[in-house]
Structures are given as structure tokens and as C-alpha cells.
Amino acid sequence: MNIAVIGTGYVGLVTGVALSEIGHTVTCIDVDPKKIAKLNQGIPTIYEPGLSEMMLNNQQRGRLHFTDQHRVGLADADVVYLAVGTPQRADGSADLQYIEQAALDVAGHIRRSAIIVIKSTVPVGTNLRIKQLMLDHLHPGVTIRIASNPEFLREGSAIHDTFHGDRIIIGTEDKDTASVLESMNKPFGIPVIKTDIASSEMIKYASNAFLATKISFINEIANLCEKLGANVEEVAKGMGLDHRIGSSFLRAGIGYGGSCFPKDTNALVQLAGNHHHDFNLLKSVIEVNNHQRRLLIEKMLGRFGSLTGKKVAVLGLAFKPNTDDLRESPALVLIPELARLGAEIVCYDPIAADQGTKWINVSAQYTENVADALKDADCALIITDWPDIKRMDPKTYGRLMRQAIVFDGRNCYSIPQARAARMEYYSIGRPDVVPEISK
């Protein structure tokens, strides 16, 4: 099939590449000419494991194209995916200006009838509003059908998730559209759930809100564990073995970040409020997350009294490992707060350091490796559980730092490991490790 994908961000680019990989002819369109120029040179504009090879391979086979010209990209399209951003507005609701503009761009340029698939995460009711908006601007004789097809990929494992997802949700008004999209997606071999448009839109928000709830729940249990002398990892393991609970998304830490959970939980609270429903549970999930982000600063102040002049090695900037994405990363809250408290900041991130220099507007030094960041530091603060940080011998801290004092927001090391390395170790929901010598 001939497919056009509007937007070449994390979702649009991965979707376009994956659809070309299963044999479709895909043209990805973006309004950012710099992105398109880079993509046309075979260079991905985001970091995602496995993306680069797959993209280049399909470009060379002539199945994957990039353009900033809607007229060119839409010329042969049978199906058009809208995969542009739906960021958060100041009041927490979803900002739909980009998807509305993308819909108008398509309506203005498309000259043949097509199925419009909305992949962006949008509040319930948006698909039908977008359809009406497009109908008002289509060329005479052109017809469209609309489908909701929310995306569930995770950053850092986007290619894997696209080929091994748990389900593909297709929300449509008519059976024919659903059948076309189902057969188009068949090569993925993933179960397809066909439903109505409103339910499809809601499945996306409900899924993200539920996962965020699991994280805030375990973080609250973690905070209680600290007070009661329990270890949250033992607790999560014991809980997760109950298949009704499941072990995933029970990793306690400094809270969820990223481009989705924070914005989608806020958008669902807003959507509920617009319909006179006070979503108290979700409001608490958000509040717990906001508090969780600051926990380690409180622990640092408790340990040092003041951070003025203390050299802090910040390990990891991205909101999770294997991505260069800093959107809503706890680093964006913690690093400015450290600067405000007078700390000297040295940051390390294997992939997201460049983004750090763009997004974090406080004075900080960036290093190429962990060792340079740790050298002569008064303490380390782990924000992202990158594999090279997790796999590092914990004794390294003592070898390089003034004193091996580590505040770990991702529970990278076990308590016995920390004890054996003679670190002073503060983590989340587990007992503090304070060697005799530090007391």
C-alpha cells in the first residue's frame, strides 16, 4: 500500500520505518526541512536502538522516502497517518494546534480519497473533530474515512515494541476501514482489537494513566518502606509474582518522566474535569510523582546540610535509558535545583548530553565518560539507569571521588553490593548504607 506519515518524531519516524519494513511504500512528511535533509542522507533524527539500520535499508530498497512537500508526499497515498505532537498546554490539557494544522495541510493537498489514521494521542472526541475540520477543507470529489490507531511504543525500545507489541487498536466508524487497516498491519503478527473511535482514544489515555498509577503506587510503598525498615525491591518482587498484579512497572525510583506519562495524566484529569468528573485518584498519582522527583535533593540536604560549593556528579540526564529524549526528565527539575542550592555540577550521559546542553540553562560541565564526572566529586546523583552506569563496579566511586557518597534515584546497585564497595549509599525505598568510617 502507499502510505504517507505526517510528522517524523519518535512515533512518526518509527511508524514510517516499520511500515516500510513490512513491505509498504512509505513517504514521511515533516514541516522541519532540517530534519528532512538529515533523513534524506540516511541519518535518523532521534536515537532509537535498531532504527538506523532498518531506515537505511528501506531507503536503499526504494520503499521509504522523506519530504517536506505535502503535495509530493501525498500524491499516491491510500492511507495517511497523523503522528505529530500533542503537547501539554499550561492548564494541563492537550494542545491540539499541531494535529489540527497537520489535518488542514493534508486536506489542502490531498487529491485522492484516503483513510486518515490518527496515531497521535488525542482526547476523546478529537478524531471526529479532525474529520469535520478536514471535510470542510477537502477538494471537491475527495472523500476521507477516519480511524484512531493509538501508539503504545516506548522510547528506547520503539523498534522492538512496534514489532512485538501486545495489541494494535483500531477504532473506526465502519467495518471496511477497519478491515483495510487490519490487513495492512497483518505482517506485524500482533493481535488487532477493533473498536469504536471514542473507546480507542480512551484506551490510550487509560493505559498510560494506569501505568503511571502503578509507578506512583510503588513509589509511595517505597517511601513507607524507608520509614518502616522494609526493602521495596523485596516487596515489589513478592507482589509482582501474583499474576493479577504483574511485576512490570513496579520499579521504585525518582518518578516517571518522558513525553507521555506526565502530559497524558494531566490531559486525562483535564478531560475528566471538562465533563464534571473529579479524577481524584489520578490527581494523587501526579502529586506523588512531583514529590518523588525532589526526594533525593532532600536526602542530599539531610546529609550535607548545605550543597554550596559541593561538587555533584550527575549520572544520566535522559528520562530513561536508551533514549536521547529529555522531555519531562527529572534532570530538568533536579539540575536547576542543585544550581540554585550552590552546587558545582558535572554531568554525564552517554547519549543525551547534547540535548542537556540545549535544555538545561544552568552552568554545568559535561563529560564524555563516567570517570571524568566522578573525579573528585563530593557525591554522585544517579538520575538514569543507563547500562554503563548500572554495570559499573561500585568500587569505582571510592576510587575516583573525594568520598564515595552516592544518591541513587534508580536503585542501580543492591544493598550488599553497596556495602561490599564501602559506599555511603542512599537509594529509594531501601535502607541507607552508611559505612562505620562515614558515621
Ligand X SMILES: O=c1ccn([C@@H]2O[C@H](COP(=O)(O)OP(=O)(O)O[C@H]3O[C@H](CO)[C@@H](O)[C@H](O)[C@H]3O)[C@@H](O)[C@H]2O)c(=O)[nH]1
Ligand Y SMILES: NC(=O)c1ccc[n+]([C@@H]2O[C@H](COP(=O)([O-])OP(=O)(O)OC[C@H]3O[C@@H](n4cnc5c(N)ncnc54)[C@H](O)[C@@H]3O)[C@@H](O)[C@H]2O)c1
Which chain residues interact with ligand X by CB under 6 A?
Answer: 121, 151-155, 208, 211, 215, 249-251, 253, 256-258, 260-261, 319-320
Q: Which does 324 bind (CB under 5 to 8 A by kind): ligand Y, ligand X, none?
A: none
| One character per residue 64-93, x = contact with ligand Y (rule: CB under 6 A) | -------------------xxxx-------
Nearer to ligand Y, 159 or 312 (CB): 159
What CA–CA distance (Å, rounded) separates 49 from 235? Answer: 32
Query: Of ligand X, ligand Y, none, which one sits near residue 211, judging by CB under 5 to 8 A according to partner kind?
Result: ligand X
Q: Select 120 or 219, whichever has its Cβ closest to ligand Y.
A: 120
Q: How far is the CB of 363 from ligand X (least distance, A)?
A: 25
Segment contacting ligand Y by CB under 6 A, of 10-18, 187-195, 220-228, 313-321 = 10-18
Size of the site for ligand Y (CB under 6 A): 27
- Distance of closest approach, residue 193 Cβ to ligand Y, in angstroms: 16
Classified as helix, coil or strand, 330 is coil
The span of 72-80, 148-156, 294-302, 361-369 binding ligand Y (CB under 6 A) equals 148-156
Concerning whether 225 is annotated as a catalytic residue, the answer is: no
Pair type for strands 168-172 and 144-148: antiparallel
Cell numbers that stand for 20 in this block:
516500510
Please report whether residue 155 would count as binding ligand Y according to CB under 6 A: yes
- Count of CB atoms situated within 10 Å of the CB of 159: 21
Q: How many CB atoms lie within 10 A of CB 436?
A: 6
Q: Toward ligand X, which CB reaches closer, 74 or 351?
A: 351
CA distance 327 to 383: 14
Dig out the grid coordinates for 78 from the structure: 491510500
* Element at 284 (helix H, strand E): helix 280-304
Q: What is the dihedral of CA 56, 60, 61, 66, to 10 degrees?
A: 70
Catalytic residue among 260, 347, 379, 412: 260
11 near ligand Y (CB under 6 A): yes
Write down the least CB distance from residue 154 to ligand X, Å. Answer: 4
Closer Cβ to ligand X, 66 or 413, answer by number: 413
Secondary structure of residue 130 in the 3-state scheme = helix
Contact between 268 and ligand Y (CB under 6 A)?
A: no
Asked if 424 is part of the footprint of ligand Y (rule: CB under 6 A), the reply reads no
Q: What is the CA radius of gyration of the chain?
A: 24
Using DSSP, state whether 81 is helix, strand or coil. Answer: strand
The one-letter amino acid at 380: A
Give dist(CA 400, CA 140) in Å, integer: 70
280-304 vs 197-228: helix axis angle to the nearest 10?
A: 30
> Footprint of ligand Y on this chain (CB under 6 A)?
6-12, 29-32, 35, 83-86, 98, 101-102, 105, 120-121, 151, 153, 155, 259-260
